[in-house]
Amino acid sequence: MARALIRGRGGAAAGLRAWALVVPLAAFIGVTFVAPLGAMLTRSVHTPVVADALPETLRLLGGWDGSAAPGEPVFRALGQELLAAREARTLGQVANRVNRVEGGLRSVLTRTARRLRTAAPSPEAAPGAGTQPDATRTAGAPAPWRDAILGMDEAWNEVATWRAIERAGERFTGRHYLHALDLDEAPDGAIVAQPEDLRIYLPLLGRTLLVSLAVTALCLALGYPVAYLIARAPPDRAPLLLLLVLVPFWTSLLVRTTSWIVLLQTEGVINDLLVAVGVLDQDGRLAMIYNMTGTMVAMTHVLLPFMVLPLYSVMRTVPPEYMRAAASLGATFPAAFRRVYWPRTLPGVAAGCLLVFILAIGYYITPALVGGRTGQLISNMIAYHMQQSLNWGLAAALGGILLVCVLALYLAFDRLVGVERMRLGA
């Protein structure tokens, strides 16, 4: 009994020690990975800028019937809150957000705010001074804000403007995801596909998936024989061959990509060679870089080791007797390979393909450098929205969709192959 107790305590202490060992890593991952990921995903649906800047306007718009421009109280709230936003220097963000909902409204908002600063009606402004009667106006009531703002920009008389503000004011929105999927919300709330010529993201996502699949297939086709060769090499030669696979792996990505530029460009080594031996003439030089070809070649090269290494480690565990047994039983090499060797290496094939595919689907630097205009992938679009257009919500939504794609593939893979059967190492 006492001994069991001691052992039990020892076990608990060992468990605690084991946990203590992973705490630093867990903290690191939490701070540098999980938290930013969470923040990013939140950003894709959380849009508080307008809601924070124009709370009263939005509250009053809640009771608006939407048939024509709203009444004086809404205009007053808008005017005062625009002025406050200008003071707080958040007006630019607000204008940007509204502009994304309805193009052209950025200037309307900033102009209105600028003019209001000098021409805001005083709280005691006389009613009816120099204004035209208006259908939506409550008869007889004075409306200095309404008249002033309408006088500043005709856009305020349009229902669409107010609708845009209303929609930009939603604190949580699925609009980024709609955009990322080339969908749009019609004024009546129905979700419709963008016109064909405006669709950007879905074709890009499809292209990214296709390129990733093609790169994975290429890596498998090129890597499998290499891994087989290394696994079958005599023990004194295998490390050398493995080194040949690993040296590019250890070389800087930029150096490797630049090398491909040197090789593949129109005035590059390969084109020069082909022209020199007369396969091509001077005008017929091939465009092998700054397009999809360049992206695929460079990506395949960069990702090849990720295929070779898991394959090699699994192949090393397949005893050579299997192939000998198959031969002694009368099988030709292709039959023995297909029925005996290939099935034994499937865990490595699965691991390599999954690894390469997931790395490929989020590939950024290589397409950015050698992709040119047609060889860009979804990651490049995400980077564009992060750095150029500053539409972080959309960037986050695109990233979220990419994440969902990867997870879906992983789950499908788990269903089909079984992740626990996958082996990255021996």
Partner 1 sequence: MTEMREAVAGSLGEDRHESGTPHVEFLGVGKSYDGVTEVVRDLELTVYEGEFLTLLGPSGSGKTTCLMMLAGFEAPTAGRIRIAGQRVDDVPPRRRNIGMVFQNYALFPHMTVGGNLAFPLEVRRIDREHAAQRVRRALELVRLTGFEDRKPGELSGGQQQRVAIARALVFEPNLVLMDEPLGALDRRLREEMQYEIRRIQRTLGVTVVYVTHDQQEAMAMSDRVAVFNRGRVQQVAPPEVLYEEPEKGFVATFIGDNNLLHGRIVAAKGDVCVVDTGHGIVQAFLVAPLEVGDAVTLAIRPERVALAAEPGLYSNEFEAHVDDIAFLGDHLRVRVGVCGSSNFVVKIPNRAGHGAVLEDDRIRIGWTPLDCRALAPDKDEGGP
Site string for partner 1, 271-310 (x = CB under 8 A): ----------------------------------------
Asked if 332 touches partner 1 (CB under 8 A), the answer is yes
Closest to 377 measured CA to CA, from 200, 184, 174, 198: 200
CB of 308 to partner 1, least distance (A): 23
Which residues 6+ apart lie within 8 Å of 419 measured at CB?
410, 413
Q: For the beta carbon of residue 285, count every other beta carbon within 10 angstroms.
A: 17
Report d(CA 338, CA 175) in Å as an integer: 50
Q: Which is nearer to partner 1, 224 or 260 (CB)?
A: 224
Question: Which of residues 141, 240, 335, 390 is near partner 1 by CB under 8 A?
Answer: 335
Question: Which of residues 12, 29, 325, 390 is near partner 1 by CB under 8 A?
Answer: 325
How far does the chain reach from its first CA to its final CA, in angstroms?
41
Closest to 245 measured CA to CA, from 258, 227, 261: 227
- Tell me the number of residues near partner 1 by CB under 8 A: 17
Q: Which is nearer to partner 1, 124 or 321 (CB)?
A: 321
Asked if 319 touches partner 1 (CB under 8 A), the answer is yes
212 contacts 360 by C-beta, under 8 angstroms: yes
DSSP string, 188-208: TS-EEEPPGGG--HHHHHHHH
> No. of H helices and E strands in the chain?
21, 2
Question: Which of residues 217, 220, 280, 331 is near partner 1 by CB under 8 A?
Answer: 331
Asked if 326 touches partner 1 (CB under 8 A), the answer is yes
Closest to 166 measured CA to CA, from 88, 85, 112, 105: 105
CB of 424 to partner 1, least distance (A): 20
Q: Which is nearer to partner 1, 214 or 331 (CB)?
A: 331
Question: Which of residues 327, 365, 417, 419 is near partner 1 by CB under 8 A?
Answer: 327
* The token pair that represents 63 in the structure block: 């009771």
104 contacts 128 by C-beta, under 8 angstroms: no
Q: Which is nearer to partner 1, 189 or 234 (CB)?
A: 234
318 contacts 312 by C-beta, under 8 angstroms: no
Asked if 321 touches partner 1 (CB under 8 A), the answer is yes
CB of 322 to partner 1, least distance (A): 6
Q: How many residues does the chain have?
A: 426
Q: Distance from CA of residue 227 to its chain's centroid?
A: 32
Binding segment (CB under 8 A) for partner 1, from list 171-179, 194-202, 278-286, 334-342 = 334-342
Site string for partner 1, 339-378 (x = CB under 8 A): xx--xx----------------------------------
Report d(CA 363, CA 367) in Å as an integer: 7
Residue 46's DSSP bridge partners are 172
Question: Which of residues 249, 322, 384, 413 is near partner 1 by CB under 8 A?
Answer: 322
Asked if 422 touches partner 1 (CB under 8 A), the answer is no
What residues make contact with partner 1 under the rule CB under 8 A?
Answer: 319, 321-322, 324-332, 335, 339-340, 343-344
